[in-house]
Structure 1
Amino acid sequence: MYKGTPLAGSRVLITGGASGIGRLMALEAARRGAEVVVWDLSEEGGAAVEAEITAAGGCASSRGVNVADSDQVGEAARDSGEVDVVVNNAGVVTGKRLLEADEAAIRRTFEVNALAPYWVTRAFLPGMLERGRGTVATIASAAGLIGVARQTDYSASKFASLGFMESLRAELRADGHSVGTLVVCPYYINTGMFEGVRTKFPLLLPILEQADVARKVIEAIEAGREQLVLPPFARLVPVMRALPVPAFDRLADFFGINRTMDHFVGRGQGATRR
C-alpha cells in the first residue's frame, strides 16, 4: 500500500525546476533532506538553482533538458540515475483563442504539458517498481477540471494530464505495486506564467501564492496524498457537472471563470514556462 515518500535521503527529480514553483519545490525538498535533480530547458537557470541549494548545504545537480524530446529525456535519465520521486512540473501556455493560436504553439502545449510526463515517467518508473517505492507527481491544473475560454490547448492538455495520472494510479493499484501517484490541480498561481489573470471572487478562488503551493505539494508527496486541488473550493467542479450543461455554463460564468484570461499577458508573447 502506498504511504507516501519521505524526502529525507531520497532523490527527487523536478522538471521545469529553474523557476516558479519548480524552483521553490526544489528548495523545499532540499530543506527536507532530499538530493534534488533539476531539469529545465534553461541550463543556466537549473545551474542557478543547483548553486542555491548547495550554498545552503544541500545536495543538488542540474541539467538542461527539453522534456518534450523523448530521446533527450532517455539520455538525461540514464545520466541522472535512479530517483525516488518524479515531479512533472514543466508547463507552457499560449493564452490565445483557438483561431489566434498558431499550429506550432498548440503542438508545443501538448508536447510539454501532456506528452512530456509520459516520457519522464516511463524513464524512471521501472526503477521505482523494482525497488518497491516512490512517487510520481504531476502538476496539472484546475483547468484540467473545467474548460476555460482562451485555454483550448492548455485546458485540454491538463485534462490529459489528469487522465494520465488517474489511469496510472489505477494501473499501479491493479497490479499491486506500492509506488504512488499525486496529481495537483491548482488554480492560477502568481508566477509570470499567468501574468495579468484576474479572479472575480478572490476569497473563494484566490490567485495562489507560489511558496504556499510548493510547500503543499511537497507535504502531499510525503503524506501519500493522491490528489491535491487548490483552493478547496475548486473541488466543487465535479459536483457542478451533475447540472444540465446550460446551468453548468451559467454557473461557470457567474464565478467569472471564462473572463479570468481577459487581461492575460504572461511573460511575453507566445508560450511561457512555469
Structure 2
Amino acid sequence: MNLFVEILLFVATLIYSYLEAFVKLFVPVKRKSVSGELVLVTGAGHGVGRATALEFAKRQSRLVLWDISKHGVEETAAECRRLGATVQAFVVDCSKREEIYSAAEKVRKDIGDVSILVNNAGVITAADFLSTQDHQIERMFEVNILAHMWTTKAFLPTMMENNHGHIVTVASAVGHFVSSFMVAYCSSKFAAVGFHKALTEELSTLGKDGIKTTCLSPAFINTGFVKNPSTRLGKILEIEEVVEALMEGILTNQKMVFVPPHLNIGLLSEMLFPERALAVLKKLTNAKFDAVIGQRSTQ
C-alpha cells in the first residue's frame, strides 16, 4: 500500500477511534455472559482471587480454584458452592512449574477445557533491594510472572483451537510506575504487564480475535500483603471495588483496567512531564508503607 494512503488510513482510524470513545461515554457497553464458562482462578484462597471467584460464581460460571493454602481455597470453594456454582479446588504452589502443569493436566482430563484463566496469584516482599533475599526475589518472579506463562501455555492451545477464551493478568500499578523498596516486586509486575501486552499483540497477529485479554493494574489494596500503606492522593483500595472494576473489564473486554481510573493520567504524565516535575509529584503523593531497610543478607 502507498505510504500516503497508509497515513490517511491511520488518521481516519484515529478520528474514528476518538469518536467511538466519545459515543461510548453515553451508550451502555454490552456485557458478555460468562454463564457456563469454565473459569480457573489462581491465588483463589484469599483477597482479590477469592472475591473474583465469588463474582464468577454469582454469574453461574463453573469454577476451578487454585491456591497454595488448602484451608483458604476450600473456604472459597464452599462460599462459591453456597452461591450455586460447581467448584473444584486444588492445592497448587504456583512457584513450581511442575505442579502447575500436573494440576492443569488433571483439570483438562477430569473437568474440561478452561475458557477463562485468571492469573491472580502473587507474592511481595517490601524491602530495599540489598535487603531483599535471593530466594525472595526468585519467588516473586516465579509466582508473579513465570506462573502466568506456565498456566497460559497449559490452557491456551485449546482456546486457540476454539478461537474462544479470556486470559486475565492481575498486575499492579507498580507494573507501570516504580516505587522505592519494591525493586524486585516492581520488576516482576512490569514483566506481567509486558507479558499481557505482548500476548495480546501475538494473538491479534495470529488472527485469534475470539481470545480476549485483560490486565488489572490497581494501586495499594487493603489485603494485608503490604503493611500500613498510605498516600496523600486517594484512599487505600478495598478488595470489593478492585474486583468490581476487574469484572467490568472482563465482561466488556477491556484490555487494561486501572484502579483508580485516574492512574491513566499518571501514566501520561510520565511521558510528558520533566524528571524534576515528576520528582515533586511523587513527593506530593507521599506513598508510604512498612519495609525492611538496611538488612544486608542474601540467605
What TM-score comes out, normalization by structure 1 length?
A: 0.90
Partner of 1:272: none
The code of the aligned residue for 1:59 comes to T
Structure possessing the higher relative contact order (Cα contacts under 8 Å, 6 or more residues apart): 1
Is 1:53 the equivalent of 2:80?
Answer: yes
| SS at 1:99 equivalent | helix
2-structure distance, mates of 1:255, 1:90? 28
* 1:183 aligns to 2:218 (yes or no): no
SS at match of 2:216: strand
Query: Is the contact between residue 66 and residue 92 of structure 2 (CA under 8 Å) also seen in structure 1?
Result: yes
Which residue of structure 1 lines up, in the alignment, with residue 150 of structure 2?
119
Deviation (angstroms), 1:77: 0.6
The one of 80, 83, 89 equivalent to 2:107 is 80
Assess if the C-alpha contact under 8 Å between 1:67 and 1:119 holds in 2: no
Q: Within 5 A, what are the aligned runs for 1:34-73?
A: 34-73=61-100
Out of 228, 232, 237, the position equivalent to 2:257 is 228
How much has 1:224 moved relative to structure 2?
0.9
Residue 171 (1) aligns with residue 198 (2):
no
Q: Which residue of 2 aligns with 1:200?
A: 232
Q: Give the aligned residue type for 2:35.
A: A
- Letter of the structure 2 residue corresponding to residue 163 of structure 1: G
Quote the residue 1:250 is aligned against.
280
Q: In structure 2, what is the Cα distance between the partners aligned to 1:219 and 1:253?
A: 32
Report if the CA contact (8 A) 2:127-2:291 is conserved: no
Displacement of 1:4 in angstroms is 7.5
- Distance apart, 1:108 and its partner CA: 0.8
The 3-state SS of whatever aligns with 1:63 is strand
Give the secondary-structure state (helix, strand or coil) at the position aligned to 2:213: strand
Contact 2:60-2:84 at 8 Å conserved across structures:
no
- 1:9 maps onto 2:41 in alignment: no
Q: Residue 209 of structure 1: CA displacement?
A: 1.2
Counterpart contact for 2:117–2:166, Cα < 8 Å: yes
Task: Tell me the amino acid that sits aligned with residue 29 of structure 1.
Answer: F
TM-score by length of 2: 0.82
- CA shift for structure 1 position 34: 0.3
CA RMSD of aligned residues (A): 1.6
* Equivalent residue letter for 1:214: V
Q: Which amino acid aligns with 1:210?
A: I
Partner of 1:44, secondary structure, is helix
Could you tell me which runs of 5 or more consecutive residues in structure 2 were left unpaired when the two chains were aligned: 1-29, 293-299
Distance in 2 (CA, whole Å) between partners of 1:184 and 1:55 is 27
Paired positions, count: 257
Find out whether 1:162 has 2:193 as its counterpart: yes
Aligned counterparts of 2:222 and 2:38: Cα–Cα separation in 1: 28
Q: Quick check: 1:17–1:90 contact (8 Å CA) kept in 2?
A: yes
Greater radius of gyration (CA): 2
Equivalent residue of 1:180, what SS? strand
- Whether contact under 8 Å (1:5, 1:135) holds in the other structure is no
Structure 1 distance, partners of 2:159, 2:52, is 21
2:141 to 97, 102, 110: 110
Of 68-77 and 238-247, more deviation after overlay is shown by: 238-247
Q: Which runs of 5 or more residues in structure 1 are unaligned?
A: 266-274
Shift of 1:237: 2.4
Q: CA deviation at 1:230?
A: 0.7
Identity, % of aligned pairs?
33
Distance 1:43 1:4 in 2: 34
Would you say the 8 A contact 1:12–1:85 is kept in 2?
yes
Indicate how the Cα distance of structure 1 residues 5 and 173 shifts in structure 2: closer, same or farther if over 3 A, else same: farther
What does residue 216 of structure 1 align with? 245
Secondary structure of the 2:241 match is helix
Distance 1:51 1:41 in 2: 16
